[in-house]
A and B are shown apart, each in its own frame.
Chain A
Amino acid sequence: MPEKSSVDAVVVGAGPAGASAALELARAGRSVILLERGPFPGAKNVYGGVVYGRVLDEVLPGWWEDAPVQRWVTRRSTMMMTPTQALTIDFRTEDWGNAPYNGMTTYRADFDAWLAGKAVDAGAQLVTSTVATELLRDAAGRVVGVRTDRPDGDIRAELVIACDGVNSFLAKQAGLLPQTDAEQHTLGVKETLALPRKTIEERFGLSGDDGADFEILGCTGDISGGGFLYTNRDTVSVGVVLSLTGLAKSGRRPEEVLADLKAHPAIAPYLRGAELKEYSAHLIPEGGYRSMPPLTTDGLLVAGDAAAMCLAAGIWLEGVNFAIGSGLAAGRTAAEAIATGETSRLTGYRKRLEDNFVLTDHKNLQGAAHLVLSERVQQQYPRLLCDFAQEVFTVRNPEPKPGLGKLFRRTAARHGVRLRQLAADAWAGFRIFG
C-alpha cells in the first residue's frame, strides 16, 4: 500500500545546497524528501570552478577521504590579458596539497551525487527524475508543500526548502525573486578537454594529485566577465563567464569568445592537441548581496543559487561552498522550527547566515561585483598593467632604464587612465577587500 506523501520537510533540488539541507534535517531525525529533476544528483550540472571544502569539516569530518576529488589545487594564478599579452600572478603552495586541503577540482556529477548520498545515508529519501512544478498553499497562503510532475505528486510538508538553482521557479512563484533579471546574471560557458594525465602535469608543472586553477581578467573583449582554466585528472576545463546584457549588446556568440580565449598565446600551449569532451553553459547569479531575495516566507526557505548565494568578487569566485553553507543553515533552521512548531517564524535562518561566512562575506564584498565588472577593471586596467609590465621588462640599451613611476604615468596617460580615478578605484578596492 503506497504511503501517504507527507513529510516534515521537502527539499527541492539535490545540488550542494539541497543535499546539505536534507543532510541536516535527516540527522535531526526529521522525515525529509529530497527532490531532484535529473536522473541522479548532478546529472544536469555544469562545473566551472573549484570546491572549497572547509565548510564540510563540521558535518562530514575527514570528508576528503572519500570525496570524489579530481585534483587538489596547489597552484592558483590570476591572469590579466590583452589580445596579445598576459600578466600572471602565480602562487603555489605545498600546504594546500595536504589534509585538510584548501580547494579541489571535481566533477559536479560526482560531487553532487556523493553529497546527496550522505543525505540518503542519514535517512533522507531521494526522489529523482521528478520536477517540483508549484508550491502548495493553505487557505491562509502559507506554503504547505509542493506539487510534482508525477501522478498523485503532491507532497505535504511542514516546510519547503527551495534549492532549485539559479532560475528558481519556486522562489519566483513565492514572489521572492523577479521573473526576469538579466542584470544580475552572467552566462558561464565551458569546454572540458581531454589530455593525457602526464601531459597535463608537464604543461601545468604539477605532480601527483596537485592541480592548478587560473582565473583570468580581460579575456572577454568588450563584454564584462572573466575566464577560467583549471585542471582535472585527465581533462582541463576552460571557460568564460559573460555578462548577459553585455553579451546581448555585443552581438557575439559565447563560443566565439571562448574560442578567442583558447587561441590566446598564453592559453593555447596548455591546450594543444586536446580533444573536446563536453561543451556546456549555465547561468550564474552574480548579483551578490545587493540582489539577494528575501530568504524566507511563511513555510519556505531559499538556499544556494536560488538565493543568489554565489560569491563573485573578482579574486574570489565561489559558489559550491556558499551553497553548502546556506543549505546547512537552512536545514538546521528548518529542523529547529519543526521541533518547536514555529514554522512560520524562520528569522533564525538569516541570523545563522550572518553569523557564518555566507552572509558575512557577501556583505563585506557587496561592492566587489560592481567594481570588478566596471569598464575600467575589465578593459582599461588589464591593458594598462600588461603594457606597463612590457615597458618595464623591455630592455632598451644603450638608452638608460626609465624610472618606474614615470613609466607608469606615461603608460596610464597613453591608455587614458587618470591617476585620480585609479587611486579612487584602488581605495574602493581596499575598502571592499581590505
Chain B
Amino acid sequence: MGPQMVVALSWSWRRVRVDPLTGSLHAEDRDRGGNAAELAALEHALRLADELDGRVLAVTVGPVAAEEILRTALAAGAHEAVRIDRDDQLEPGSLAHNGADTAKAIASALHGRAPDLVLCGDRSADGGTGTTPAFLAARLGAAQALGVVKLESNGQSLLAHRRLDGGSREVLRLPRPAVVSLEAAGVRLRRASLPAVLAAQKATIPAIPAEPHRHRPTLPARPLRPRPRELPAPAGATAHDRVLELTGALQDRTPPTVLGPLPAAEAVDELLGYLHRHGYISGETP
C-alpha cells in the first residue's frame, strides 16, 4: 500500500475588480477556480501515486460549482473527491483571513483518515496569504515544507526539493504526515483522456457540510491612525499662559540626546543607562 495523499484545491476568485471609490469587490462566478500551483500539486500527487501505488483524494472547500475542479482532478486520475460545502463571501475580511477556516474545514473532513501527505498550492489566487498549509499542518500535527518545486521518492523516503533564494535548492526528507506547499515550477497537470472526462462528469462527489464562516472585522481601507491622547484642559488665566502650558515651552525638560553612530553594544549600554537614570528600570544595569 503506497502513500495516502490529499490534494487541497481552492475555489478562488481569480479576477476581482476593486471599485476605486468604494473599495467594494466584484467578480464573475466563471472567474473562480484553482491555480497553476494547485494543479501542479495534483500532478505531483498523481505521479507519486503511479510510482508508489498510492491513492489521491482531491478536496476543496466551496459551493456546488466548485465540483468542477474536483471533476478535473477525477478525470486526471484522482481516486476520490470530497467537497466541503461552504461558499465564502467575496469581502476583504474573508479573503484575508480564510486560511485558518479553510484549514479547519479540511482537517475536519479528513477526520478518521490518516494521510501521509497533504499537498497544496503555495497560495490561492484571491487571498494569497499562503497560510492554509501552515494552519493545516498545525491541525494535523504534521510537518510542513514550503516553496517545494519537486517531489520524488528515493525508494525509502519522499524527498521534497525546496526553492531557496538566489537560485539555490535544498532537498528535504519528508516525515509523515507532512503538508507540502508546491509552486507551479513548470509542472502542468496531465491532459485527461476523453473517456475519463466523461466519466468524471457523472461521478458522484460527496459533500460535507462545513461550519459557518467565522465573521472577522474588515480591515480599514485607510492607514492606521492612533487615537488622540486626552489631555486635561490648561488652567492658565490668560491665553498666553494656556499656550505655554499646552506646548510645554519655557519649562525644564531633558533635551533630546543624539548618540552615535555607536556600535550596537555601546548603544544598548547608553539606552539602558538612560532608562536606569530615569527610573524606568531598577537594580544593577546588566
Contact = CB atoms under 8 A, between A and B. Distances in A.
Interface string A119-130: 000000101001
Contacts of B143: none
B192 A127 contact: no
B201 A151 contact: no
A179 interface: no
B231 interface: no
Contacts of B30: 40, 109, 113
Interface stretch (A2-10, A166-174, A299-307): A2-10
Contacts of A127: 194, 197-198, 201
A151 B194 contact: yes
B185 interface: no
B200 to A, nearest CB: 9
A40 B30 CA distance: 8
A152 B201 contact: no
B24 interface: no
B199 A153 contact: no
B191 A2 contact: no
B201 A155 contact: no
Contacts of A70: none
A280 to B, nearest CB: 17
B31 to A, nearest CB: 10
A148 B197 CA distance: 12
B243 interface: no
A151 B198 contact: no
B137 to A, nearest CB: 32
A113 B199 CA distance: 22
The B interface is mostly helix, strand or loop, or mixed, namely helix
B195 interface: yes
Interface string B191-212: 1111111110110000000000
Contacts of B201: 125, 127
A150 interface: yes
B9 to A, nearest CB: 16
Given A109-B30, A113-B30, A153 B194 contact: yes
Contacts of A40: 30
A127 B197 CA distance: 8
Interface residues of A, number: 19
A162 B30 CA distance: 26
B198 A5 contact: yes
Contacts of B202: 3
Interface string A145-170: 00010111111000000000000000
B199 A150 contact: no
A395 interface: no
Contacts of B194: 5, 127, 130, 148, 150-155
Contacts of A5: 194-195, 198
A423 interface: no
Given A40-B30, A109-B30, A113-B30, A153 B198 contact: no
A99 interface: no
A125 B192 contact: no
A139 interface: no
A113 B198 CA distance: 19
B61 to A, nearest CB: 22
B197 A4 contact: no
B12 to A, nearest CB: 15
A89 interface: no
Contacts of A113: 30
A152 B193 contact: yes
Contacts of A3: 195, 198-199, 202
Contacts of B198: 2-3, 5, 33, 125, 127
A190 B199 CA distance: 40
Interface in B266-283: none
Interface in B197-244: 197-199, 201-202
Contacts of B191: 150-151
Interface in A259-296: none
A140 interface: no
B192 to A, nearest CB: 7
A155 B192 CA distance: 15
Nearest to A40: B30
Interface in B172-191: 191
A151 B195 CA distance: 9
A148 B195 CA distance: 11
Nearest to A107: B28
Contacts of B193: 2, 150-153
A109 B194 CA distance: 24
Contact of B192 (A1, A33, A109, A150): A150
A4 B195 CA distance: 6
A300 B16 CA distance: 42
**Most A Cβ at <10 Å: residue of B192, B194, B196, B202:** B194
A131 to B, nearest CB: 11
A3 B192 CA distance: 14
A307 B193 CA distance: 30
B106 to A, nearest CB: 26
Contacts of B197: 127, 130, 150
A278 to B, nearest CB: 13
A2 B201 CA distance: 11
**Most A Cβ at <10 Å: residue of B193, B197, B202:** B197
Interface in A38-79: 40
Contacts of B196: 2
A1 B193 CA distance: 12
A211 B202 CA distance: 41
A151 B192 CA distance: 7
A155 B201 CA distance: 16
A54 to B, nearest CB: 27
Nearest to B198: A3
Interface string A175-212: 00000000000000000000000000000000000000
Contacts of A4: 195
Contacts of A152: 193-195
Task: Report, nearest first, the 8 A-B pairs whose CB atoms are least far apart.
Answer: A2-B195, A151-B193, A152-B193, A150-B194, A2-B199, A153-B194, A2-B196, A5-B194
Interface of A: 1-5, 33, 40, 109, 113, 125, 127, 130, 148, 150-155
Given A2-B196, A152-B194, 4 more contacts: A2-B199, A130-B194, A150-B193, A153-B194
10 contacts: A3-B198, A3-B199, A3-B202, A5-B194, A5-B195, A125-B198, A127-B201, A152-B194, A152-B195, A154-B194
